[in-house]
């Protein structure tokens, strides 16, 4: 038993512990054990290293007990070399991952927004009426306004793979000045559904939603679509959007009446009003408060806001 406490034997146990901890980390990386696990990924990889190290340490006690002293001394030299090689390999893998992240950050085909184009973008109206032939999508996507975090775009991602496995094809970059956020650089095709940066207002129409990606309309004029990180902004479905607009009004007032019930054959509401504010949304009807010019409530009613995937009302985001 005293043999286990000799310096060479203790060193062998320690070196074995370190080597197999490194080997556990390498094995976890090779197996991609922590992939797509978020913050838990690091703990999972570390767990592999600890398990490998503990098993190897137990075995090393038996090895040192049964091996000759000269063999243990030689083994310590080999273990030291293997530890150094393992450390260098782990460092190389870490550098490679860091390089890949830097490549993702640098993969931008955006261009600075010139003043003329920035003015044109800012003129996208806050009051908008859809053409009847144009689909309304699922709602809107509002990017997070941050200086240090661009909104990345992806051309044709593999939706079965993680977001982290894709390189962005473009990005939208914001900057802050004395009056608020402005666009610093943007793709040449960028034309959101609504854009008024003096109100920190930017909305893209949502076409489809995936687990990590969201498909949006990058250009509201020609319908150009692009994918973005689902978590890089706020997803607002149509009911929530309509409940937060300033007012709505029918696109065809002669055909669309405010009804006493959410039925097309229900009687019309005969109340004089100036503004119509949504207060409740169901599948295709909106309950509205009827307001005068002083925003005093005059009554309530129902109006159909969509039919067969088409919008039947226009809306004002700002007063």
Radius of gyration of the chain (CA): 31
Q: What is the pLDDT of residue 10?
A: 80
Cα gap 52→48, rounded to integer Å: 6
Low-confidence ranges of the chain (pLDDT < 50): 36, 38-39, 104-105, 107-109, 115, 118-119, 122-123, 125-133
Q: Are strands 170-177 and 194-196 parallel, antiparallel or unpaired?
A: unpaired
Give, to the nearest 10 degrees, the angle between helix 69-106 and helix 7-31.
Answer: 30
Contact, 302 vs 258, CB < 8 A?
Answer: yes
Give the C-alpha separation, 9 to 318, whole Å: 78
Angle at 212 between CA 168 and CA 245, to 5 degrees: 100
| pLDDT score for 129 | 39
Judged by DSSP in three states, 32 sits in coil
Residue 8 CB burial class (10 angstroms; 0-12, 13-18, ≥19): middle
Q: Are 214 and 234 in contact (CB under 8 A)?
A: no
pLDDT tens digits for 65-111?
Answer: 777 778 788 888 888 898 888 888 888 887 877 776 665 445 444 55
On whether the CB atoms of residues 213 and 229 are closer than 8 A, the answer is yes
* Pairing of β 127-128 and β 313-316: antiparallel
Q: What DSSP letter does each residue of 196-243 carry, written as one string?
A: EGGGTEEEEEEEEE-SSEEEEESBTTT--EEEEETTSEEEEEHHHHHH
Percent of all residues in the chain with a pLDDT value above 90, rounded to a whole number = 46
For 57-66, give one letter per residue: b (16+ CB within 10 A) or e.
beebeebbee
Distance CA 311, CA 128 (A): 11
* First-to-final CA distance of the chain: 87
Q: In terms of C-beta distances under 8 Å and separation of at least 24 residues, what long-range contacts does 290-296 make, across chains too?
A: 290/258, 291/247
Residue 252 burial (C-beta neighbours within 10 Å; 0-12, 13-18, 19+): exposed
| Model pLDDT for residues 120-144, shown as the tens digit of each residue | 554 454 444 333 346 899 999 999 9
Gap between the Cα atoms of 310 and 306, Å rounded: 5
Listed by start position, the domains of the chain span 2-106, 111-238, 245-316
Q: Tell me, yes or no, if the pTM score tops 0.85.
A: no
Are 184 and 175 in contact by the 8 Å Cβ rule? The answer is: yes
pLDDT at 101: 60
| Coil vs helix vs strand at 194 | strand
Calpha distance 62→72 (Å, rounded): 12
């Amino acid at each position: 038993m005293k043999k286990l406490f000799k310096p060479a034997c203790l060193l062998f146990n320690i070196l074995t512990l370190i080597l197999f901890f490194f080997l556990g980390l390498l094995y976890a990386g090779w197996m991609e054990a922590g992939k797509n696990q978020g913050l838990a990924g690091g703990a999972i990889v570390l767990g592999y290293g600890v398990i490998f190290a503990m098993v190897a340490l137990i075995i090393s006690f038996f090895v040192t007990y049964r091996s000759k002293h000269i063999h243990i001394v030689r083994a310590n030299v080999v273990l030291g070399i293997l530890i150094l090689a393992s450390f260098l390999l782990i460092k190389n893998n870490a550098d490679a991952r860091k390089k890949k992240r830097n490549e993702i950050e640098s993969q931008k085909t955006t261009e600075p927004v010139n003043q003329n184009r920035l003015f044109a973008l800012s003129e996208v109206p806050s009051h908008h009426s859809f053409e009847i032939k144009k689909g309304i999508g699922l709602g809107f996507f509002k990017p997070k306004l941050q200086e240090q975090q661009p909104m990345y775009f992806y051309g044709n991602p593999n939706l079965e793979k993680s977001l982290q496995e894709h390189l962005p094809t473009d990005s939208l970059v914001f900057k802050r000045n004395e009056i608020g956020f402005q666009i610093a650089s943007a793709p040449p095709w960028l034309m959101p559904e609504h854009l008024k940066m003096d109100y920190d207002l930017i909305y893209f129409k949502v076409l489809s939603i995936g687990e990590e990606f969201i498909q949006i309309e990058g250009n509201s004029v020609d319908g150009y679509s692009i994918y973005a990180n689902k978590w890089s902004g706020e997803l607002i479905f149509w009911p929530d959007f309509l409940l937060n607009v300033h007012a709505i009004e029918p696109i065809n007032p002669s055909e669309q009446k405010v009804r006493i019930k959410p039925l097309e054959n229900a009687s019309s509401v005969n109340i004089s009003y100036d503004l119509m504010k949504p207060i409740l949304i169901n599948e295709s009807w909106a309950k509205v408060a009827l307001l005068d010019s002083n925003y005093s409530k005059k009554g309530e009613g129902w109006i159909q806001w969509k039919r067969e995937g088409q919008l039947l009302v226009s809306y004002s985001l700002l007063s």
